[in-house]
Chain A
Amino acid sequence: MNERSGKRLRLLVAGALLAGHVANYAIQALLGHLHPIGFLRELLGSGKVDDHELFQMLLLAANLALGPALISGRGNLMLGAGSMFLILAHAWVGVRVVPDPLTSGAALVVNILVLYVGTRLSERLPAKHLAAFAASYFALFFIFVEIKWGFLIPALKGRTGMGNAEPLFLLFVMGLCACARSWRLLAWFWAVTVSFTFLQPYAWESAVVLCFIVAALFGARGALRSPTALVFLGVGLALAGLVLFPVVAAIMGESPQNLGNILGDERIQKAVGRTLVTATASTLFLVALAVPLAYALARLHFPGRSLLLAAIDVPIVIPQSVAGLALVRVFGAGQPLGGVIENVFGVRFDGTLWGVCLAQVFVAMPFIVKAALAAFESVPVELELSARTLGASPWNAFRRVALPLASRGIFLGAVLAWARAAGEFGALLFIASNSEVETAPVLAWNLFGSVGSAQAGPLVAVLLGFSLAMFFLLQLATRTLPRPAVAQNADATAAAQRAEATA
């Protein structure tokens, strides 16, 4: 397009819109809807004017300013003409469509914003961005306006909480405008929008989970930038979201005041304290016995080794209730072994903290043995052998070489075992569930049985927050221990390669 025809186009488009607006105003004035002379007289006289008259006058003034500017060659034609058209449209139909001029004005500002963003997107970005913008716009329209009308899906009409949501349409369209130019922002926008519309009353919870998923998906980097891996990540994150959602919902669903009240309850304080003490004691006991077992399993081959390895998993495999019953049948009062222990050592298991620890040790044992076994197996035997050739005794080779290198894995296993012990519930129900020795999970069950889920809610949130905090703290502490030998080797190799590359 050469310069002259460009000028002619400007004159044509802007002139037509300007003439249209003037004509619209004149027609309305002639029909008696508007009174420009009376308006001016009131404006100059009392200063108090009718909203509607003022709005129409402002719109006319806006177009009277925009039109000549466009004709004289200033500004972007598409944007300018579009704005003029929107202003004209608001002057023409806006009056009838919306209840008051102010609403119309707000809608006009948002419409011009949409126009601005749309123009920029179409000029400066690939077409798919504009398509996504348009699709999102209509999706928002559907959510906030159409569902209420129920033309497309009558079944949805009146069945959502989105009555009176039309004004929010304006706000969300503004948000869409802000986010339209990047896929990542658009994903954030939709994560929030979906949370706060469809997933009410769990809006904040789902927003947290969805935003986490979006952040992971769009932050994903790797040597292999394959779409397949990204899709897999998305599917996996959906699964993680499904699992995480109830946890987040349980924590965020309670008001902070409730949580504060709960922490002041003596019964709850005692139960939480009992949980801490018994789980820690059980874990220490397990570490003392399971680490030697794991070391033996890692270094020796003996008949029945694989059978033993399989048998270690038994506590995971069998139902918790069965485990509880089995413990009661053997260690309970009056049972053969339980009776002997009570008579000889004076230790009674059922209904005491000893019983709690017993059940915890039972269920947590596989976690630490497996972890310690894997940790010791990752320590090369050659390291210990070289220590022996340098004069270390077998005990010192274990204590100074194998144990430190495996310590991280062992500690991680201990953390898992601790969490499992603290969270044990099924077996405890059989062996020690009375209120004198109840641990936190059992207390949650007892409260649920006596006062219902609504009252037990804050306690559940506190327990959840407490276990998660402990778990993450312990995980964090693990990082201070030495890294496994294999990883260290890998690091060393990578460093050597880097050094080679730079040299």
Chain B
Amino acid sequence: MASLFSRLGDLFERAVANLKVLDQALNGLEGSYVELLTVLALGLLAVIPVIVPERHRQRYRLANQLFGIAIFIFVIYTCLGVFGMIRNFHRGLSEIGRENIVALYYCSVPATILVTSMIFGPTFCGWICPTGALQELIGRIFGRWHRGRKRCGHPFSWKLLAMALAVTAIFLGWMAYLSATRVFFVEDASIYWSEVLVILLLVLVWRMGAWDARLRRLRVLSFAIIVAAAIASLRITSPVHFGFNKVYDPASVLATVMVALAALVVPHVWCRYLCPWREAIAWAAKHSARRLATDPAKCTHCGKCADVCGVDAVADGKVDPRECHMCLKCVDNCPTKAIALKEDWKPMP
């Protein structure tokens, strides 16, 4: 019996040895754990939205988001926040052909996100992105302030004014403290983004309905600035950047706090108006095979989809693919099941 097994074992070894050629193939991966774990982890996270059952989908999404936060904190080193992702992608692409392992290291996160967005839709935004999850969790807790005021802006109240002024005061106070304790570098430019965010907040609180569409174009500007900075090899850190490296980075902490505070009043304010990476994902999602389609015959124009949407991507039952985060809340909440996930593999013209 034992000899039979050892002979089987030999056969097995020999069958594998015939494929020895492949032994060379992935040698380059040896030791480069981090970036491959990224591909693995993000790949698995991106598969979940596709395979989860429709019942309790939003609960799975919450779990996926929490898991995404954990992955980004504990596994991924190369991302460095939304700005860093663009910079790294530029750097990584330039290294192809010179330092291929470095290229993989820098390209893996952005490439994985873009690829999954092009196949499964922009699920990264709605199911994985830690910045988005942070804003959404805060929105969940303080949802009362969002409800019913998303499109029209808030009516004036002293409470609201006090809140906006308090946020501004926190920002200015922290800035004053920082400038007293630290010399600013280009790296700290995320402060400018949070500054814009604070101004935006004041504007949005009263003028959101009128200015929303125009202000969303800020994302393009943001994207252009970050790409230009990447080409000029300037480092600009983004909110949540401090989660990815060990250096003392108070500016990024401040920006993160500002994003969180702003999300109290306007849901997903960062994603809507400032996130440069959202612009790239919107492009990828335009080419996605999976998309949300509305059956006009079933739609009763009840407006529930627009109510639940966190990013105001649905208007009168129609989903705007440029803004949609694929959270599928509108699908789950539609009383007549008029909005559905379609998989359309027809080639584009």
List A contacts of B284 (CB < 8 A).
Answer: 178
Contact check, B119 vs A117: say whether CB atoms are below 8 A apart: yes
* Complex-state Cα separation, A197 to B115, whole angstroms: 19
Contact check, B22 vs A124: say whether CB atoms are below 8 A apart: no
Contact check, B96 vs A196: say whether CB atoms are below 8 A apart: yes
Cβ contacts A117-150/B at 8 Å (1 or 0 each): 1001100110001000000000000000100110
Beta-carbon nearest neighbor of A172 in chain B: B111
Known contacts A109-B43, A120-B345, A171-B108, A166 near B25 by CB under 8 Å: yes
Beta-carbon nearest neighbor of B21 in chain A: A149
* Complex-state Cα separation, A275 to B9, whole angstroms: 81
Known contacts A102-B33, A120-B289, A168 near B100 by CB under 8 Å: yes
Contact check, B104 vs A168: say whether CB atoms are below 8 A apart: yes
Segment at the A interface, from B34-42, B167-175, B301-309, B330-338: B34-42
Contact check, B289 vs A100: say whether CB atoms are below 8 A apart: no
Beta-carbon nearest neighbor of A255 in chain B: B233
Known contacts A110-B39, A113-B43, A161-B97, A103 near B26 by CB under 8 Å: yes
Contact check, B97 vs A200: say whether CB atoms are below 8 A apart: yes
Contact check, B111 vs A164: say whether CB atoms are below 8 A apart: no
Q: Is A204 an interface residue (CB 8 A)?
A: yes
Known contacts A100-B30, A164-B101, A171-B104, A105 near B345 by CB under 8 Å: no
Contact check, B96 vs A181: say whether CB atoms are below 8 A apart: no
Contact check, A177 vs B233: say whether CB atoms are below 8 A apart: no
* Complex-state Cα separation, A185 to B349, whole angstroms: 11
- Report which of A102, A182, A201, A256 forms a contact with B40, defined as CB distance below 8 A: A102
Q: Is A106 an interface residue (CB 8 A)?
A: yes
Q: Is A99 an interface residue (CB 8 A)?
A: yes
Task: Give the distance to chain A from B67, nearest Cβ to Cβ, in Å.
Answer: 16
Cβ contacts A158-184/B at 8 Å (1 or 0 each): 000111111110110011011101111
Cβ contacts B23-60/A at 8 Å (1 or 0 each): 11111111011001101100110000000000000000
Known contacts A109-B44, A256-B233, A174 near B112 by CB under 8 Å: yes
Contact check, B345 vs A203: say whether CB atoms are below 8 A apart: no
Q: By the criterion of a CB under 8 Å from any partner CB, how many residues of chain A are at the interface? A: 56
Task: Give the distance to chain A from B236, nearest Cβ to Cβ, in Å.
Answer: 14
Q: Is B287 an interface residue (CB 8 A)?
A: yes
Task: Give the distance to chain A from B27, nearest Cβ to Cβ, in Å.
Answer: 7
List A contacts of B98 (CB < 8 A).
Answer: 161, 200
List A contacts of B233 (CB < 8 A).
Answer: 255-257
Q: Is B12 an interface residue (CB 8 A)?
A: yes
Beta-carbon nearest neighbor of B231 in chain A: A256
Known contacts A177-B115, A178-B119, A164 near B347 by CB under 8 Å: no
Within 8 A of A (CB), among B59-91: none
* Complex-state Cα separation, A170 to B43, whole angstroms: 12
- Report which of B27, B30, B39 forms a contact with A109, defined as CB distance below 8 A: B39
- Report which of B33, B111, B345 forms a contact with A171, defined as CB distance below 8 A: B111
Q: Is A96 an interface residue (CB 8 A)?
A: yes
Q: Is A107 an interface residue (CB 8 A)?
A: yes
Contact check, A197 vs B29: say whether CB atoms are below 8 A apart: no
List B contacts of A105 (CB < 8 A).
Answer: 36, 40
* Complex-state Cα separation, A124 to B93, whole angstroms: 33
Contact check, A184 vs B19: say whether CB atoms are below 8 A apart: no
Q: Is A296 an interface residue (CB 8 A)?
A: no
Q: Is A31 an interface residue (CB 8 A)?
A: yes
Cβ contacts A335-374/B at 8 Å (1 or 0 each): 0000000000000000000000000000000000000000
Beta-carbon nearest neighbor of B5 in chain A: A30
- Most A-side CB within 10 Å, residue of B93, B98, B107, B119: B119
Q: Is B114 an interface residue (CB 8 A)?
A: yes
Contact check, A178 vs B118: say whether CB atoms are below 8 A apart: yes
List A contacts of B16 (CB < 8 A).
Answer: 93, 96-97
List A contacts of B43 (CB < 8 A).
Answer: 106, 109-110, 113
Within 8 A of B (CB), among A51-92: none
Contact check, B39 vs A197: say whether CB atoms are below 8 A apart: no
Q: Is B346 an interface residue (CB 8 A)?
A: yes
Contact check, A99 vs B44: say whether CB atoms are below 8 A apart: no
Q: Is B269 an interface residue (CB 8 A)?
A: no
Task: Give the distance to chain A from B14, nearest Cβ to Cβ, in Å.
Answer: 11
Task: Give the distance to chain B from A403, nearest Cβ to Cβ, in Å.
Answer: 41
- Report which of A99, A163, A185 forms a contact with B287, defined as CB distance below 8 A: A185
* Complex-state Cα separation, A167 to B34, whole angstroms: 13
Cβ contacts B258-297/A at 8 Å (1 or 0 each): 0000000000000000000000000010010100000000
Known contacts A110-B39, A164-B101, A196-B93, A31 near B9 by CB under 8 Å: yes
Q: Is B162 an interface residue (CB 8 A)?
A: no
Beta-carbon nearest neighbor of B26 in chain A: A98
Known contacts A27-B12, A125-B347, A256-B232, A164 near B100 by CB under 8 Å: yes
* Complex-state Cα separation, A260 to B84, whole angstroms: 24
* Complex-state Cα separation, A103 to B103, whole angstroms: 16
List B contacts of A163 (CB < 8 A).
Answer: 100
Cβ contacts B103-143/A at 8 Å (1 or 0 each): 11001100110110011000000000000000000000000
Q: Is B94 an interface residue (CB 8 A)?
A: yes
Contact check, B28 vs A164: say whether CB atoms are below 8 A apart: yes
Q: Which 9 A-B pairs have the closest CB atoms?
A: A200-B97, A178-B118, A109-B43, A161-B97, A106-B36, A124-B345, A256-B232, A164-B28, A103-B29
Task: With A103-B29, A185-B287, A255-B233 given, name 16 new contacts (CB 8 A).
Answer: A97-B19, A99-B26, A100-B29, A102-B40, A106-B36, A109-B44, A110-B43, A120-B289, A124-B346, A165-B97, A166-B27, A167-B26, A167-B32, A168-B103, A171-B111, A182-B347
* 19 A-B pairs (CB sep. < 8 Å): A31-B5, A31-B8, A93-B22, A99-B26, A102-B33, A109-B44, A120-B343, A125-B345, A166-B28, A167-B28, A167-B32, A167-B36, A168-B96, A171-B39, A175-B111, A181-B289, A185-B348, A200-B98, A201-B97
Interface residues of B (CB under 8 A from A): 5, 8-9, 12, 16, 19, 21-30, 32-33, 36-37, 39-40, 43-44, 93-94, 96-98, 100-101, 103-104, 107-108, 111-112, 114-115, 118-119, 231-233, 284, 287, 289, 343, 345-348
